[in-house]
């Protein structure tokens, strides 16, 4: 019975979660910078009661953060 294998597996899991979290943060930042207005139209269809798009047909800050968080959450989970 090898007792040294358990801490190594724990370190591997921590490393994987660190990499997943780092990837999710990168996705969040890149999505905020490179997103298109069509994405927010889809979010407006999903959540019609919220003010997602302003009068100038631009997404609000809240909408940008919500959709970026959703995409980063998907990347973190998978």
58 domain-assigned: yes
User: Which residues does residue 61 pair with via DSSP β-bridges, in sequence order?
Assistant: none
- Does the pLDDT of residue 68 top 90, yes or no? yes
* Confidence (pTM): 0.77
Q: Euclidean distance between the first and final Cα of the chain, in Å?
A: 33
Q: What is the mean pLDDT of residues 34-55?
A: 86
Domain presence at residue 49: yes
pLDDT digits 0-9 by tens, 5-28 = 556 777 777 788 899 999 999 999
Phi/psi class of residue 43: alpha, beta or left (left: φ > 0; alpha: ψ in -120 to 50)?
alpha
The tokens for 1 are 């019975």
Is the pLDDT reported for residue 45 higher than 60? yes
Confidence grade of residue 37 (pLDDT, cut at 50, 70, 90)? confident
Does 2 reside within a domain?
no
- Whether 5 maps to a domain, the answer reads no
> Is residue 7 situated within a structural domain?
no
For residue 77, what is the enclosing H or E element? helix 61-77
Q: How many domains would you assign to the chain?
A: 1
Distance CA 33, CA 21 (A): 19
Host domain of residue 27: 12-77
Per the domain annotation, does 24 fall within a domain?
A: yes
């Amino acid at each position: 019975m090898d007792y040294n294998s358990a801490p190594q597996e724990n370190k591997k899991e921590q490393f994987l979660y660190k990499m997943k979290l780092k990837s999710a943060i990168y996705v969040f930042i890149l999505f905020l910078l490179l997103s298109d207005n069509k994405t927010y139209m889809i979010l407006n269809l999903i959540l019609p009661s919220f003010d997602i798009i302003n009068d100038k047909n631009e997404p609000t800050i809240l909408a940008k953060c919500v959709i970026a968080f959703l995409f980063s959450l998907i990347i973190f989970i998978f």
